[in-house]
Amino acid sequence: MVQESVLNTNNFKKTSRDGVNWDLSEAVPRLPGETHVADKEVIYICPFNGPIKGRVYITNYRLYLRSLETDSALILDVPLGVISRIEKMGGATSRGENSYGLDITCKDMRNLRFALKQEGHSRRDMFEILTRHAFPLAHSLPIFAFLNEEKFNVDGWMVYNPVEEYRRQGLPNHHWRITFINKCYELCDTYPSLLVVPYRASDEDLRRVATFRSRNRIPVLSWIHPENKTVIVRCSQPLVGMSGKRNKDDEKYLDVIRETNRQISKLTIYDARPNVNAVANKATGGGYESDDAYHNAELFFLDIHNIHVMRESLKKVKDIVYPNVEESHWLSSLESTHWLEHIKLVLTGAIQVADKVSSGKSSVLVHCSDGWDRTAQLTSLAMLMLDSFYRSIEGFEILVQKEWISFGHKFASRIGHGDKNHADADRSPIFLQFIDCVWQMSKQFPTAFEFNEQFLITILDHLYSCRFGTFLYNCESARERQKVTERTVSLWSLINSNKDRFKNPFYTKEINRVLYPVASMRHLELWVNYYIRWNPRIKQQQPNPVEQRYLELLALRDEYIKRLEELQLANSAKLSDPSTSPSSPSQMMPHVQTHF
Amino acid sequence: MMFFFLFSVSGNASNPEFKKKKNSECLLRLRHEGLLNSCPAGVASCPASSCPFRSPRSPRLKLLESALLLGPRPTAGGMEFSELIRTGRAQAELLRGPGAPPLRGTLCVTGHHLLLSPGPQATSDLWLLLLRSVDSIEKRVAGDSGTITLRCKDLRVLQLDIEGVEATLDIARSIEALSSLESVITSFPFFYRPKGLRLGDAWHFHPPEHYYKRVARETNAWRLSEVNEDFSVCPSYPRAVIVPRAVDDDALARSARFRQGGRFPVLSYHHAPSGTVLLRSSQPLTGPQKRRCAEDEELLRAVLAGARPGARGFIVDTRSAQAAKQARMTGGGTEAKAAYPGWKRLHRPMERGRPLQESFVRLVEACGDLEQSMDRWLSRLEGCRWLAHVKEALSTACLAAQGMEREGACILVHGAEGTDSTLLVTSLAQLILDPLSRTMTGFQELVEREWIQAGHPFQLRCAHSAFSHARPKHEAPTFLLFLDCVWQLGRQFPLSLEFGEGLLLALFEHAYASPFGTFLCNSEKERCLCEVRTRTHSLWSGLNQPKEQRKLRNPLYVLNPLAIWPSVEPQSLRLWQGLFLRWTRPPEPSEAAWEKVWQIVTDKEKTEGSQPTVSASEPQP
């Protein structure tokens, strides 16, 4: 969606031949509800091809640049939502060509630089307009998603219905019940209204447990194994503190969870953090489940670092890939970012969770500190490994909607939608890291996922774009207050109304197959098509040529089958007496039986 | 099919004792598979008339022995493999690494193979390993059993747990001796007679004449010369080579004397769209005195004249300018600018020989090292420098290809001997430019013409793979590097190659150890002396059997008439996991994807194929 493309060459030539008085409606793609704000002639300092003269159009949704040079068909189409920072470069007296203008840092691994004329403060307007519309929150303006009037023939908000999803998992059953205790978000304001808890725990028990869990995020069910009935339960850290507090209700509650599955005498607790961090958290009132307090539980640390480490790691990745790729020591530079190592740790943790549930036949409790970053990564990836339903397009949407959006991953804080505070320490690419892990899995299992790479990239693009309401706000209660589902469009509307674009032609549906990706550094790759996609030297063929070819073959096959059926029809019509036929249509069928 | 123990070779007797009924059944089976056409145990005891040591010795063969240093010298009655087999038989368990279940059964060493025949209750088939493919062997004994670890040339690591200390040591010794036999004509290809293939088939597929026909259709500036008919002008060239029409055989012979190993400039590829050519040779023997050779200069002048008036040429020297200069001290050197008007020299240093082999060894070590802290994997991978060699090779090939396609210049490639990095560059440049070389047959022809017939010394380069502890002498994975570069091309252009990873893996395996004769010897001359073409089967006929196609072909192939310019940025090049991590990763997922694509393609063909059936089933009036 966001691309420097040469695809529109024809369109461009037509308009440029018509002269400079462009019809704006033709020159710039516009969404319903998108309004033109300003346009201006600038020089785009392309890091790959040098300065290019162009006209930039700013709307309340995007920054659109069209080259004015005849030998370049460059187009930039950047949603304002991806902008994280706008800086002025150079001063009124700066010397040197193109040294005066704006420097724009984006959230999607690129920077944009525009040079303007020095006379008459020409950049001031552009700076102010961009700042206003890229950071609407600071100017009491609405985020574009609330202005977007796009209509789709399917409603993405209908994709996730918690009751239906739990019913699909076979819930409630006689060990687990659905509770509405959080209906008005008074038990836990960052949890969804509907929760699945042990049948034997009363609402009163839940309230008492909530006092002992950070931000009241009590252990609740995420997923249940269809056969052995072991469960993945998520929560936040216990409030143990320096004094090593205990809470009988919490201890009893975990024991109740353990007892829902009688195959193993222990409950496994995965604390996503490194051991030292978990200990350090005691100083601020947090901590982890000690052996003495929780006799029937085994605790493992998964060594995944916190949001700040991840943010710095991704920053280093950007440093070595944009604008120029660090070539002389590519692999060791990549290693020094530690990005793939973090990916490895997240995947390894998820594999452990999945394996414990599937082969170890033990219920698992996952938490980190608050239970909305690393915990979401681990539960959702483990569920993706265990449950083939989540590997379909809609299943994946449900997974994201459930484990991330409804359980309060703080998208607004982590991404900073419409917020000008680019240095906010709350920002972190946790969700991107999750999508990267999914991509690594899809690489290793090319037939296991219904969606393709484009699907994942589209999700990431709209994670920032603010065109849809899907990723806005930090939790369900805030979304409900803002009536997001009524006032905005869902990203899944866009995707589900045009599913073919996002389908992996190699997909082979398999039920009950557990996927264990190889999480060794040898088998992990940098996702070049995402992180380095702005670099024109990276051969990025869109759409993917293999998929393209495969689709052609599929179409050919369908055509042959159709022709064959026509022939058979014509044939059977001719057969007045079936007994004379050496081969009836039903006998012919095996020839055209396909394996799908 | 279930079957029993095959045959055994006892410590002292050279006669294989066959258990009558069941064994004859097994033998029949083996014969069917072409594995047993001649003696399984020892040559001396072999009744088969095809046995080379039974037939009267031809004078030619004697000549060959001295020429090729035929391993252990045969005795009067012929060398007996059985002398090297102390214990031929033991109970053992075979561990084949992750994914494959262990196999228990009777282990048996024969002249060319290691066999494991599972017990009668087992359902699995006989397991068989060509001894030649063993790269290194390690033995350990403890208590009353032993363990042999076999590291194979295809990078597989196998472990055999054997009952009995004596048996372990004996078997280890036998494997060691038999896997390192240097004799060519006692090697397995001379005994391998697979069912369904005829000797001599496919050997005639790709003679130089065949390629010349194509060139002759495009231009008449070139001719086929048989100046090397008896291999006396250049021992490492084939009998016929393609040279400028304007240069006669005498001049060629003189030019040959001015080039190392007699490798005078010959045509490697004619790029019809630009009318330019790609040539290869070895370094000129200018020496410290800066000698010149009029015929050699004339030859290169004729090349430019034959292309088009005013054409330019580039000499791509695969050594650094300094190395080329230094070579003068040992009689070599490079073309002086003044002597070759119209030609410009470019130096693109490429690693070869020892450093390349060491890079390969380090990489395989890193890939197999499961102990090491994985946080350091990427820098270790970088430290192996293998991907740097891939990048060098591809970018030099791009340079040569660009010179032809974009600059309209003729290109001559050489390093020192002109048998390694030179061939790497010329063959890759052709893949980039020539759509025909990207087809199944075109690629086989390219390998045959630009590697085998062009005199890449396979016997020397591929004597050992990455595991051998023996001091490397002439080993170098140049051909593997070529295959890796082709794989990178295939990854970047997934539709443009008609063959898939399967073919590249097969070529790698067969180059190092093969039942076929294609990669035997170092040159056409040696192949001729050993009568490889008449007495062994060609790999191409083996590979081109219909049953192999699914593994080798790229189902998504569509003819791409354009040049394919690879990206050589470091982030575009990947470790070839399918080769280097082949035995340590679970293969299923990628195989499933491959299978899926095949399914759809064959479905299509089936549907196409069944159309006539429909009309045929129409009732007759």
To the question of whether residue A307 is assigned a binding role by annotation, the answer is yes
Angstroms from B556 CA to nearest CA on chain A: 7
A335:B377 CB<8 A = yes
Is pLDDT of A107 > 50?
yes
- Provide the sign of the torsion angle of the four alpha carbons A192, A193, A196, A197, taken in this order: positive
For B90-102, the pLDDT digits (tens) are 888 888 877 678 8
A545:B495 CB<8 A = yes
Closest residue to A567, CB basis, from B577, B589, B614:
B614
| Residues of chain B neighbouring A564 (CB-CB closer than 8 A) | 607, 610-611, 614
**CA gap A194, A186 in Å, rounded:** 12
- What is the average pLDDT across A306-331? 93
- What is the average pLDDT across A164-168? 97
| pLDDT on residue A575 | 56
DSSP A389: G
To the question of whether residue A371 is assigned a binding role by annotation, the answer is yes
Per the annotation, the verdict on A368 as an active-site residue is: yes
Lowest mean pLDDT among A66-70, A338-342, B345-349: A66-70
Rounded to the nearest integer, the mean pLDDT of chain B is 81
Taking CA–CA distances from A441, the nearest residue in chain B reads: B589
Lowest mean pLDDT among A242-246, B66-70, B132-136, B469-473: B66-70
Closest residue to A545, CB basis, from B494, B569, B571:
B494
| Residues of chain B neighbouring A321 (CB-CB closer than 8 A) | 571
| pLDDT on residue A539 | 56
Rounded to the nearest integer, the mean pLDDT of chain A is 88
Q: Is residue B219 less than 8 Å (CB to CB) from chain A?
A: no
| pLDDT on residue A469 | 96
- What is the average pLDDT across A291-302? 94
| Residues of chain A neighbouring B608 (CB-CB closer than 8 A) | 560
**Contact indicator for B279, B231 with CB cutoff of 8 Å:** no
Work out whether strand A101-106 and strand A111-115 pair parallel, antiparallel, or are unpaired: antiparallel
- What is the average pLDDT across B115-141? 82
| pLDDT on residue B235 | 95
**Contact indicator for A340, A307 with CB cutoff of 8 Å:** no
Is pLDDT of A496 > 70?
yes
Angstroms from B125 CA to nearest CA on chain A: 29
Is pLDDT of A298 > 70?
yes
Q: Is residue B611 less than 8 Å (CB to CB) from chain A?
A: yes
Lowest mean pLDDT among B123-132, B172-181, B269-278: B123-132
| pLDDT on residue B102 | 85
Residue B604 corresponds to which amino acid?
Answer: K
Q: Is residue B378 less than 8 Å (CB to CB) from chain A?
A: yes
Angstroms from A592 CA to nearest CA on chain B: 6
Closest residue to B567, CB basis, from A539, A557, A568:
A539
Closest residue to B375, CB basis, from A341, A539, A582:
A341
For A60-70, the pLDDT digits (tens) are 999 999 999 88
**Contact indicator for A99, A118 with CB cutoff of 8 Å:** no
ipTM above 0.85? no
Angstroms from A560 CA to nearest CA on chain B: 6
For B505-528, the pLDDT digits (tens) are 999 999 999 999 999 999 999 999
A592:B608 CB<8 A = no
DSSP B114: E
Is pLDDT of B15 > 80?
no
| pLDDT on residue B506 | 95
Lowest mean pLDDT among A43-47, A188-192, A243-247, A508-512: A508-512
Q: Quote the tokens at residue B302.
A: 């004729």
| pLDDT on residue B176 | 87
Q: Is residue B388 less than 8 Å (CB to CB) from chain A?
A: no
| pLDDT on residue B194 | 85
Q: Is residue B395 less than 8 Å (CB to CB) from chain A?
A: no
Is pLDDT of A512 > 70?
yes
Asked, as a colleague might, if the bond just before A323 is cis with ω within 30 of 0, I would say: yes
Angstroms from A549 CA to nearest CA on chain B: 7
Taking CA–CA distances from B554, the nearest residue in chain A reads: A546
Q: Look at residues B551, B546, B281 and name the one whose alpha carbon lies nearest to residue B410.
A: B281
| Residues of chain A neighbouring B581 (CB-CB closer than 8 A) | 522-523
Taking CA–CA distances from A577, the nearest residue in chain B reads: B619
| Residues of chain B neighbouring A520 (CB-CB closer than 8 A) | 374, 377
| Residues of chain B neighbouring A448 (CB-CB closer than 8 A) | 589
**CA gap B585, A518 in Å, rounded:** 8
B577:A554 CB<8 A = no
**CA gap A525, A343 in Å, rounded:** 10
**CA gap A214, A368 in Å, rounded:** 10
**CA gap B342, B312 in Å, rounded:** 5
To the question of whether residue A373 is assigned a binding role by annotation, the answer is yes
Percent of chain B predicted with pLDDT > 70: 80
Compute CA distances B85 → B77, B113, B146, B594, whole Å: 17, 11, 18, 42
For B377, counting Cβ atoms within 10 Å of its Cβ (0-12 exposed, 13-18 middle, 19+ buried), the class is buried
For B228-278, the pLDDT digits (tens) are 999 999 999 999 999 999 999 999 999 999 999 999 999 999 999 999 999
Closest residue to B597, CB basis, from A321, A344, A550:
A550
| pLDDT on residue B551 | 87
Closest residue to B382, CB basis, from A331, A549, A575:
A331
| pLDDT on residue A164 | 97
Is pLDDT of A281 > 90?
yes
What residue has token string 């725990």?
Answer: A201
Angstroms from A545 CA to nearest CA on chain B: 7
B379:A332 CB<8 A = yes
Q: How confident is the model at residue B345 (pLDDT cuts 50, 70, 90)?
A: very high
- What is the average pLDDT across B177-205? 82
Helix (H, G, I), strand (E, B) or coil at A405: helix
**CA gap B6, B23 in Å, rounded:** 5
Is pLDDT of B546 > 60?
yes
| pLDDT on residue B583 | 85
Give the length of chain B. 621
| pLDDT on residue A433 | 98
Lowest mean pLDDT among B64-78, B146-160, B566-580, B592-606: B64-78
| pLDDT on residue A330 | 93
